[in-house]
Chain A
Amino acid sequence: MAIDLKAIEQLATDQSSLKAAAGLAKPAKWSGVGVSYDGALVWGECAGSGANPYRVMADLRDLGNKCTCPSRKFPCKHVLGLLWLKAEAVVPFAPADTPAWVSDWLGRRRAGAGTSKAPPSVAPSAAKDLRAARQTEPEVVEDPKDAARREAAAAKRSEDTERAILDALDALEQWIGDQLRMGLSAFVDDVTARCRRIAARLVDGKAAVLAGRIDELPGRLLALPPGDRPRGAVVELGKLVLLARAFRTTPRDAEIRRAVAASETREAVLTNPQTLRVNARWEVLAEQVQTRRDGLVSQTTWLLSLNNDGPRFAMLLDFFPASVGRRGSVFTPGERFQGELAFYPSRQPLRALLVAREAVEDATSPEWPTPEMVLADTLTSPLLAEPWTIEIPVLLPAGRIALDDAGHPWWRSADGASTLPVAGSAEGLLCGTDLKRTAAIWSGNRLTILAAQTSWGRVSGHG
């Protein structure tokens, strides 16, 4: 089935989409491009501004399409870019079995969704011009005085932001002191409202990431058994004090700033010479999707390097507004691929961006790496570098799930030396077989199991 550029022009909602699509119609932006054997479906993965590439798919019969990006435009620039690649044969579209994510979409889509007819509200197609979209903007030579003025303004803005954050952190410490004075028992009882108030103050003070963390604090605290909550509150609030003090000491430290104010842009991470780049075979351990109180949905993908150089985890983190609706998963747990990751500069590199992904590989070999440290060290050593860390990914040695009197699960090492409480419930295969290796998140008092290797093969955990 063929598609021509005229159809793409008609499909685009506006000239800016077309322009953006022209920028994406380049081989370097795409990976995993394919077409079904019958030529009707095309798909590909396009690097966007988030940690993960977007999965883009289209049905050439009626130009129905779908992309995992959070854009409100339909079709988005990625879909147009994919169609553009196909129309102009910019990259070869290898015939292949339809990936599961494309089949899943096919099962859900309604006929005619995204047909070639342009929506009535948009401007007539004459207002969109492919030739104009292809043209590159001439580079504007900037006046040195303007540049200096702009830099000065940026420096002033940065200073103001820092001042605002420091003020907000003062308010935070004041607030923490108040909670102790009024009693943690009352704090636990009224945790949601109290955290909401200080989080709002932190947002005003430009400490948005810290505000998000405090917004999620009640959820973490209330997930604990009631008897554990005062202890949990001490741990959570104690970490906030440490983070506030760390910011005051080194406000320009990128890592601490990331935990308090905002993350660097994708471009800043990729161009930073200190960025650690790792090209390895990765296994997707699990994907966690959570709707946050601030109206954002966080999509966390946990990866484990299969290279034989000790356990290395990576966390791909994307946010998008909950109002955009459900977003398709980018990865399938258990999937393996060769790919390059760029880690945000850090004392304990964990958060990363996916720079390039190659074809999916079979999931049978090799084994996960060997846990290298004494378990107690694995659980605590990251806290020496970042004492405010909430989640520590760990690769546990051979073990097994056991149940206490109340039916709550515990992970116990095969040698019986370590026993850790597991969050939530564990059932089925997870507690009916030996776990050769277990990848999990340790949050100080509970283990969230991501996946495990067993004699039955790979088992998903809480996901």
Chain B
Amino acid sequence: MAEAIYDAMGSVLTRWTMGSAAAPAAAVWSAELGAEPAEAELRLLALSGQFLGVAVTAEPPELRVLPDIPALALPTVPEALRPLVHRILNAFKETQRKTELLDFLAARGWTTHPAEWMPTANDEDAPDVYAPWRDWAGIAASNCVVRRQAGDRLTADNWEDFWPAARKVALTELRRRDPEVARAVLEAKLASENADVRLPLLSLLATGLSEADIPFLEGIAANDRAPKVKALAASLLARLSRGPTVGEDIAELAGFFSVKMKGLLRRSRVIQFENVKTPAQMHRRAALLESADIASLARALMLTPQELVDAWNWDVDRQADAALVGLVARTGTDSLVAQTAEAASQCNASAFLATLTPRLVPGQRSELAEKVLRTRGFSFDVAKTIAGGTARLENPMTAPAGTALLAALRRDDAKPSDELTELFALGLIASRAAARQALERLNGAGLLQGDPRLDMLRLNAALDDNGAEP
């Protein structure tokens, strides 16, 4: 019977779609439809509707099942704290804040629940622990049916077996453990990747950078097809004091600076800025600084890079400060980066610290953040920019920023949305104990316990600290 109805349905539907009477085509129901044509159409419609309503659409021949979302190396946040994480993630649109929260969770030994947040395949900023999820997202977005099996240790032979994010993490780990082998793998495989992939892979050489990397980097700097990749190789070479030979450009750049002596008893060098009276001169200096490296500039001024940073005259020429910080971040050695960050943190150039901090290790970043909070009276937000999501500062509320925050919250015209940024930053950089103390202080200052501005502090105070020390 059902088959006969199925057979009839084709022509019934065609007739109705075109606008002609369908009852004559449904002989199987002729007894039920009766003889009156208009009534027969309505009855047929009721019967057909019921039939088609329960006849399930046929399954397509090919269905693709995605692989399971893998478990990560760290557990997901405890069930009870998921709503809090969810609310914080939703409260901020900026990717940077999300990344800071993810870094914070990872530093504490936790990851988000996949229902709350998952990275996309291109989320380069997500902490490494999310690499398996990034690869899963890559598989979901591609047409691959089968997941490739990744071995434990990355080699040139099993390069293709790794999905991109896992490969990057494996290469990072290999570089940390055995820099020579990691470079050899890169030498064998880098050329076969496209420029968007080559750039982040090559940047991994910054870890454990040594003289042994020079030939490989020189080859890239000379021959790579992508200008960005070439520039990165050149900047890595510059960190090894293998910048371009001092040429006319460097000599011209050096002409924008002069080294003077100052002080009567304790004579010290100081850099003075020359030839910056016209916009054209400023533009020229900026362009030259863009393509220079710190070692060459120092050499042209007859200084070492360390002496150049020591002699730098901060807070006089903001554009020059920003350019120097950029130059050091791009081409300075790790120790020079730390020295420059220290020097910049002592003056108003702290605003440029964010350029340098990605090259500092978490411990250095925390120390620097602590220092600017105490000595410079900077806001928690600036300290957060320096420290990222991995700091665990003790007693931040006793810093000037804490006093300023309490005063701002107690103002008569304070609004419920005030100080959102500061409270988030405080919640991110405080240690767990400090977060608990801060909550008490803020509640004492009149903030409600349920105030959503305290969400980050509440999460911090409630989250077990199982992670590694920064």
Contacts and interface: CB of A to CB of B under 8 A. Distances in A.
Interface of A: 36-38, 40-41, 59, 97-98, 100, 102-104, 106-107, 109-111, 173, 176-177, 180-186, 228, 230-231, 234-239, 241-242, 245, 332, 363-364, 379-380, 383, 387, 400-405, 410, 412, 419-421, 427-429, 431-434, 444-445, 456-460
A237 B64 contact: no
6 A-B pairs closest in CB distance: A238-B49, A98-B450, A183-B19, A107-B452, A432-B69, A402-B63
Interface residues of B, number: 54
Interface stretch (B52-60, B161-169, B172-180): B52-60
20 contacts: A107-B451, A176-B42, A230-B13, A230-B16, A230-B17, A234-B48, A238-B47, A238-B48, A238-B49, A239-B49, A242-B49, A383-B50, A383-B53, A401-B65, A403-B63, A412-B65, A420-B56, A433-B68, A444-B52, A460-B115
B3 to A, nearest CB: 17
A51 B453 CA distance: 33
B62 interface: yes
B288 interface: no
A428 B141 CA distance: 11
B53 A184 contact: no
A177 B23 CA distance: 12
A180 B68 contact: no
Contacts of A457: 79, 113, 115
Given A103-B450, A242-B50, A400 B16 contact: no
A364 B57 CA distance: 36
A410 B43 CA distance: 33
A177 B41 contact: yes
A375 to B, nearest CB: 10
Interface in B14-35: 16-19, 22
B273 to A, nearest CB: 48
B53 A444 contact: yes
Interface string B290-301: 000000000000
Given A238-B50, A456-B114, A106 B416 contact: yes
A184 to B, nearest CB: 5
B59 A429 contact: no
Contacts of A231: 13, 52
A142 B162 CA distance: 86
A410 B136 CA distance: 19
A173 B453 CA distance: 58
A419 B450 contact: no
Interface string B172-213: 000000000000000000000000000000000000000000
Given A177-B38, A242-B50, A432 B18 contact: no
Contact of A173 (B42, B49, B83, B455): B42
Contacts of B467: none
Contacts of A445: 53, 56-57
Given A40-B448, A419-B59, A456-B114, 11 more contacts: A100-B83, A107-B452, A177-B42, A234-B52, A238-B49, A239-B49, A242-B50, A405-B60, A405-B62, A429-B115, A432-B66
Contacts of B415: 110-111
B64 A36 contact: no
Contacts of B87: 100, 103-104
A106 B63 contact: no
Interface in B398-457: 414-417, 443, 448-453, 455
A333 to B, nearest CB: 11
B190 to A, nearest CB: 31
B449 A431 contact: no
B62 A184 contact: no
Given A235-B49, A238-B50, A405-B62, A183 B17 contact: yes
B16 A38 contact: no
B63 A404 contact: yes
A403 B113 CA distance: 23
A444 B16 CA distance: 20
B282 interface: no
B49 A38 contact: no
A234 B13 contact: yes
Contact of B115 (A40, A380, A459): A459
A37 B114 CA distance: 33
A181 B19 contact: yes
A432 B46 contact: no
A410 B443 CA distance: 50
B343 interface: no
A185 B115 contact: no
Contact of B79 (A106, A364, A419): A364
A429 B79 CA distance: 16
A98 B50 contact: no
B79 A36 contact: no
A5 B316 CA distance: 64
Contacts of A433: 68-69
Contacts of B140: 427, 431-432
B67 interface: yes
A412 to B, nearest CB: 7
B70 to A, nearest CB: 9
B42 A410 contact: no
A408 B91 CA distance: 31
A420 B58 CA distance: 9
B62 A404 contact: yes
A208 B468 CA distance: 64
A110 B416 contact: yes
The interface centre, meaning the residue of B47, B140, B443 with most chain A CB atoms within 10 A of its CB, is B140
A231 B453 CA distance: 52
B303 interface: no
B90 to A, nearest CB: 10
Interface in B84-136: 87, 91, 113-115, 118, 136
Contact of A421 (B52, B57, B136): B57
Nearest to B418: A111
Contacts of B240: none
Contact of B17 (A37, A185, A383): A185
B252 to A, nearest CB: 55
A36 B49 contact: no
A428 B140 CA distance: 9
B360 interface: no
B323 interface: no
A228 B58 CA distance: 12
A242 B46 contact: yes
B83 A38 contact: no
B63 A419 contact: yes
Contacts of A460: 115
B448 A36 contact: yes
The interface centre, meaning the residue of A36, A37, A41, A456 with most chain B CB atoms within 10 A of its CB, is A456
B45 interface: yes
B466 to A, nearest CB: 20
Contacts of A177: 38, 41-42
Given A106-B450, A230-B13, A410-B59, A380 B54 contact: yes
Contacts of A456: 69, 76, 113-115
Nearest to A443: B53
B16 A180 contact: yes
Nearest to A237: B45
A387 B19 contact: no
Contacts of A100: 83, 87
A352 B401 CA distance: 54
Given A41-B450, A98-B450, A235 B52 contact: yes
B404 to A, nearest CB: 20
B449 to A, nearest CB: 6
Contacts of B76: 456
Contacts of A230: 13, 16-17
A103 B416 CA distance: 12
